[in-house]
Amino acid sequence: MGRLIYLVGASGVGKDTLLAAARQRYPEWIVAHRYVTRESGASENSVALTPEEFLARQRAGLFALSWEAHGLYYGLGIELDAWLSRDRVVLVNGSRRALPSARARFGAALTPVVMTASDEVLRGRLRRRGREDETEIESRLARHRELRDALPEVPRLDNGGPLDGTLVALERLVDGEVMA
């Protein structure tokens, strides 16, 4: 059985950037796309669906895992099962809310990881991204601190510095080294 590296973290912490870099550096790993009911961003590996398309696929059993957050539907396709059954390392941009369902669905194959960065780094990224006003940025930072302090048993991956360092830390995690 393969391993499912399930990244969770606040918006702007760099999950999609890390996944894109991992795809380039480690072609033997599979970076799974998400199905989302909004248009895909430039750095995001997702398939845009209308809410009607999403719900039809959900009813058809085409998602290994699905959840709703921020007024949107998100799903991970059943292709995960095929990849894991072939002993592949699969990386996904997950959700903390869906983590209990992910644990139940994938069991020992699942390795959840909390991505972090300092508030200052995250604030700067959110401002540069330009999708949120200052009130929304502060709300996202509060959620980031809540997530950072939650799940003490889950390994942390600091993405506040150079991306290359985060990739090296991710490789160690994939290789089974315990992260603090």
Predicted confidence at residue 178, as pLDDT, reads 56
The residue that leads in pLDDT, 88 or 125, is 88
Average pLDDT over residues 59-80: 95
Q: What is the pLDDT of residue 152?
A: 83
Q: Are 2 and 107 in contact (CB under 8 A)?
A: no
pLDDT of residue 42 exceeding 70, the answer is no
Q: How many CB atoms lie within 10 A of CB 21?
A: 17
pLDDT of 135 over the 60 cut? yes
Question: What pLDDT, on a 0 to 100 scale, did the predictor assign at position 65?
Answer: 97
Residue-level pLDDT at 43: 59
Assess whether pLDDT exceeds 60 at residue 30.
yes
Q: Is there a contact between 98 and 65 (Cβ–Cβ < 8 Å)?
A: yes
| Higher-confidence position of 87 and 41 | 87
Q: How far apart are CA 120 and CA 32, in angstroms?
A: 29
Give the percent of the chain with pLDDT over 70. Answer: 95
DSSP letter string, 60-72: TT-EEEEEEETTE
Measured distance CA(96)–CA(103) in Å, rounded: 11
Q: What is the pLDDT of residue 140?
A: 86
Pick the closest to residue 93 from 161, 10, 27 (CA basis): 10
List all residues 6 or more positions away from 104 whose beta carbon is below 8 Å from its beta carbon: none
Q: pLDDT value at position 100?
A: 95
Q: What domains can you pick out in the chain, each with its CATH number?
A: 3-174 (3.40.50.300)
- What integer best gives the mean pLDDT of the chain? 91
Q: How far apart are CA 163 and CA 141, in angstroms?
A: 21
Q: Tokens at residue 103, please?
A: 């644990």
